[in-house]
Structure formats: C-alpha cells, structure tokens
Amino acid sequence: MSRCPFADLSDPDLHRGGVPDELYRQLREARVVRQDAPMRGGEGFWGFFLQEDVDRISKNPALFSSALKSAFLNDVPEDQLPLMRTMILNMDPPEHVKYRRIVRNAFTPSKVDSYAPRFREVVREAVERIEPRGECEFVTDVACVLPLITICEILGVPIEDRTKFFEWTNTMLGADDPDLNLSELDGQMAAAELRTCTPTRSWRTIATTRRTTSSAHCCAAASVARS
C-alpha cells in the first residue's frame, strides 16, 4: 500500500478530455493507494483498483461499512449520519439488500421493455419542441429530459411536480460543486424537501412504507442528477 503520488483522485477534472488510461494503469499496478487530502475535504480515503479487491470489499460489509461514516468522500458530521443512512447508498446489509430488492423490481428486463414506448415519445416531444426554434440549450432541453422523465415515470411523479423534483435533486447532489454556488445547507434543505414533500396529487409509490419510498426517491435522485 502506498500514498497516491499520481493525482487527486477526487478531482473530476482528471477525466477532462477523456479516460486517463495511463493513470489507471499506474493505479492498477499500485493496487491500493491512500488519498490523504481529497479536494472535497475530509480525512481521505483508500483506493482499491483490482477487481478481486473490489469484490472482497463488497462482500465484507462488517469490515468495509457504507453506513458507519457514509459512502461520501467528504466527512459527514455525526449529527447528520442518521439522515444519511436513510439513503440506499449508505446502507449495509440486511437493510441495503431489502431496499435494493425493491428498487431492482422497477428495472427487470420486462419492466424496462415496457418503458420503451413512453421514452421514445418523450424523445420525440423534446425534438419537436426544439425544431421550430432552430437552437437549444442542450443540457436543459435534451440531456436532462430523458433521465428526469424516466425516474419520474417509475416513481409516478405527476407532470406538474417534475420541475421541482429536478431542482431538488440538482441542489441536493450539487451542493459541493463550487461552480453551482450552493451551500451544504442548501443541499440538506433540498434533501429534506424531497423526502417530505406533499405533491399535488398522490404519487404512486414502489413500496408500502414511508421510509422505503424515501430511500427510493434518494436513489432515483442520484440517477437524475448524475446523468
């Protein structure tokens, strides 16, 4: 094991211009490295770069816990950890397995096939809105539309609530992005709104409990904001 001499592995600019193949080659040769000072703050982290190590870690939650301090790079204050642990990303078995099974049911092959006609319709509508203008803002007019509609359709979010849903997820997951001029408090407030909001009509849930629905919302939010 060694300190990482190559780069700040938490810096998204590492991938500016394409996949850093040479960096990955060095990391695989090192196998395990220690990142002491990630850009996002915190005490640092260990990086594992061989499949066999990743598999071993994934199958040993008692030693490699996601719930203990959360799976985020930046340190989470102790008083916020109970809230963070309601997100499926920050759960260990058996809770993680239980909620993952619920989310997984929305992505079986037959379910995914059933979504295709609606998603093709969404793409056609996006193109038809743009065509008369002859120009567009690609991120908001195209890139965010399909993942947003996909997640909202799966969760049963009404059309009139989807703009607000998109804003909450972007704020929640972009709070540590310096380009967005958001604070950590903004992210926490958006996450709270996402969990406790009362929509204009009942959302179809994918679970029978409030907590399960909240976990699914957070998982879905991550998919939207990172797409």
Q: What is the pLDDT of residue 94?
A: 92
Q: Where in the chain do CATH 1.10.630.10 domains reside?
A: 103-226
What span, in angstroms and rounded, lies between the C-alpha atoms of 55 and 70? 19
Q: What is the pLDDT of residue 9?
A: 82
Indicate the pairing of strand 45-48 with strand 2-3: unpaired
pTM: 0.58
Residue ranges in the chain whose pLDDT is less than 50: 1, 198, 200-227
Q: Name, in order, each residue with C-beta under 8 angstroms of 164's C-beta and a sequence gap of 6 or more.
A: 197
Q: What is the pLDDT of residue 221?
A: 40
- Residue 32's DSSP bridge partners are 48
Q: Name, in order, each residue with C-beta under 8 angstroms of 12's C-beta and a sequence gap of 6 or more.
A: none
For 72-211, list the strands marked E by DSSP: none
Q: What is the pLDDT of residue 126?
A: 87
CATH of 103-226, one of 3.30.110.30, 1.10.630.10, 3.40.50.300, 3.30.2420.10: 1.10.630.10
Q: What is the pLDDT of residue 93?
A: 92
Dihedrals phi, psi of 225, to nearest 5 degrees: -70, -25
Is 222 exposed, middle or buried (CB count within 10 Å of its CB: 0-12, 13-18, 19+)? Answer: middle
For residue 96 the two structure tokens come to 């993680």
